[in-house]
Structure 1
C-alpha cells in the first residue's frame, strides 16, 4: 500500500518536467491522477504508459473552464479530489523592463498567476464540502530574490506565495492545507532551452546546471517531486501556509561560509579590537 492509495490528484503542467515527475511518483504510491496539460501528445503518452488510475485533460490554465473541467474529471471518474498541484508555468516575457511588450507580460501573468488562482478556486470548490484536501503551487527562487529570473515571471512567482498564504488562512478551518514549493534550477525541457539551447538536450542541461550547482549535482524533477509528496502526505498533516524551498539553500543561505577555509580552518576566537586566540590544543 502506497502513501496515496485511494487518493485523487490533479497535476497541471503534468506532461513534462516537474509535473511529470510528480504524476509518476503519485501514481507509483497508489494515487489516481488527472494529467492536466496543454501538451496533448506527451500527456496522452504518459497516461497510456501508466495505465489505469490516470486520465489526460487538455488544460490551458489561462482558460478557467479548462481548469474547472480537469477538477470535474477527477471527481467524475475517481470520486473526489485530495490533491491539487498547481504547477503549470512558463518563463514568459524576457528582456529589459523598458522594452517588455505588455501582451507578453499579460500572458506570463495569465499562466503563472491567474492559472494558479483558477486552480485554487476550483480545488476549494470541491474540497470545502469534503472538509479535506491539499493544494500545492509552484513558485520559484525568483519569487523570493531579485535578479534571478525575468521581471514578470518574478512578479508572478512572488504573488503565488502571497496568494497561497492568504488562501491557506481561509481554508484552514476546512482542514484543507495550502502550501508552496520553490524549486531551484531543475533539469527540464524549459531549463534546457535556456542553458543548453535545445529543449531536448537534458544531458546538456544536467551538465550545465551541475557545473554551477550549490551541492554535488544538478537538481532533478524527482528531487522536487519528493518535496511535493511530503507536503501532500499525512506526514505533513499539520503543515500549512509554508513555502518549501528545494534549492540547495539558494534562497536561505546567502553564500559559502568564510569561516571554514584559510586561516579559519582551525578553531580560534575573535575578540575585542580584533584580538585573536587559538583554541586550546590547536596552537
Structure 2
C-alpha cells in the first residue's frame, strides 16, 4: 500500500522539473494526482502515461478565475483535495535593480507569490472537506539571503515565508498543515538552460565544489521531502521551513 492511497494531490507547475517529479512520486505512492500546468498538451500527455489516477487541468497560477475552475474540476474528478503542492515558479533574466523593468518585477511576484496565495485561497475549502491535509509551498534558498541581479525572485521567495507561516496559523485548527521547502541548486531546466537569450544558464555560473555536498541536487531528492511533509509522518510540523541545499547556505566546507 502507498502512503497516499485514496487521497487527492494537486500539484502546480507539474509538467517539468521538480513538478513532474512530485507528480510521479505521489502517483507511485497511490495518490490521485491533479496535474496543473499552463501547457495543457504536456499535462494531458503525462496524465495519459500515468493512467486513470492522473488528471490534467490547465492552470495559469496568476489567474484567479483559472484557479476557481481548476479547483472545481479536481473535486469533480477525484473528490476533495488532501494535499496542495504549490510548485509553480518563474525565474527572470539577470539584471541590476536599476535596470529591472516593472513588468519583470510584477511577473515574478505574480507567479512566485500571488500564485501560491491563490492556491491556498481556492483549495483550502477542499482540504477542509477532506478532513484536513497538507500544503507544501516550494520556496528557495534565495528566501534566506540576498542575491545580486535577482531582486524580483528573491523578494517573492522571502515574502512566501511570511505567507506560509500566516497560513499555518490560520489553518492549524482545521487540521491543515502548511510548510515550505527551500531547495538549493537543483538540476532542472531552470538551472541547466538559459533564462533569457544571450545569458548563460545559472548552472554555468555555479560550482558546488566548495560545499559540504559537492554536487547539484536532484528533483527526486526534493520530492522525497515533499512526500514526507505531505504525509502523516510529519504530523507535528507546520509553519516550518525545510532547507535542502547540500550545505549551500552554510558556506564553504572544510577541505578534505
Matched, 1:48 2:48: yes
- Contact 2:212/2:252 (<8 A) preserved: no
CA spacing shift, 1:226–1:96, aligned 2, 3 Å:
same
Which of 63-72 and 7-16 deviates more? 63-72
Counterparts of residues 80-95 of structure 1 (less than 5 Å): 80-92=80-92, 94-95=94-95
2:161 corresponds to: 161
What TM-score results when the alignment is normalised by the length of structure 2? Answer: 0.91
- Contact 1:8/1:32 (<8 A) preserved: yes
Which of 176-185 and 34-43 deviates more? 34-43
Q: How many angstroms apart in 2 are the aligned matches of 1:16 and 1:67? A: 20
Which of 121-130 and 165-174 deviates more? 121-130
- Contact 2:37/2:59 (<8 A) preserved: yes
The answer to which structure, 1 or 2, has the higher relative contact order (CA under 8 A, 6+ apart) is 2
Asked which structure has the greater CA Rg, the reply is 1
2:222 to 213, 221, 224: 224
CA spacing shift, 1:76–1:20, aligned 2, 3 Å:
same
CA spacing shift, 1:93–1:110, aligned 2, 3 Å:
farther
Number of residues of Structure 1 aligned to a counterpart in Structure 2: 253
Q: How many angstroms apart in 2 are the aligned matches of 1:158 and 1:213? A: 23
Long gaps (5+) in structure 2: none
1:215 corresponds to: 213
- Contact 1:187/1:209 (<8 A) preserved: no
Counterparts of residues 1-283 of structure 1 (less than 5 Å): 1-92=1-92, 94-147=94-147, 150-194=150-194, 214-251=212-249, 253-257=250-254
- Contact 1:17/1:221 (<8 A) preserved: yes
Deviations 1:188-208 (A, max 9, x none): 11211149x89xx9xxx69x7
CA spacing shift, 1:245–1:148, aligned 2, 3 Å:
farther
CA spacing shift, 1:163–1:217, aligned 2, 3 Å:
same
Deviations 1:95-131 (A, max 9, x none): 0101111011111111111000001111212223444
- Contact 1:34/1:56 (<8 A) preserved: yes
Q: How many angstroms apart in 2 are the aligned matches of 1:126 and 1:138? A: 20
Q: How many angstroms apart in 2 are the aligned matches of 1:125 and 1:149? A: 38
Offset at 1:16? 0.5
Q: How many angstroms apart in 2 are the aligned matches of 1:93 and 1:210? A: 22
Q: How many angstroms apart in 2 are the aligned matches of 1:33 and 1:148? A: 37
CA spacing shift, 1:149–1:20, aligned 2, 3 Å:
farther
CA spacing shift, 1:41–1:148, aligned 2, 3 Å:
farther
1:280 corresponds to: none
Offset at 1:75? 1.1
Offset at 1:39? 2.0
1:244 match: secondary structure = strand
- Contact 2:82/2:126 (<8 A) preserved: no
Q: How many angstroms apart in 1 are the aligned matches of 2:34 and 2:91? A: 24
Q: How many angstroms apart in 2 are the aligned matches of 1:213 and 1:45? A: 38
Long gaps (5+) in structure 1: 262-283
What TM-score results when the alignment is normalised by the length of structure 1? Answer: 0.83
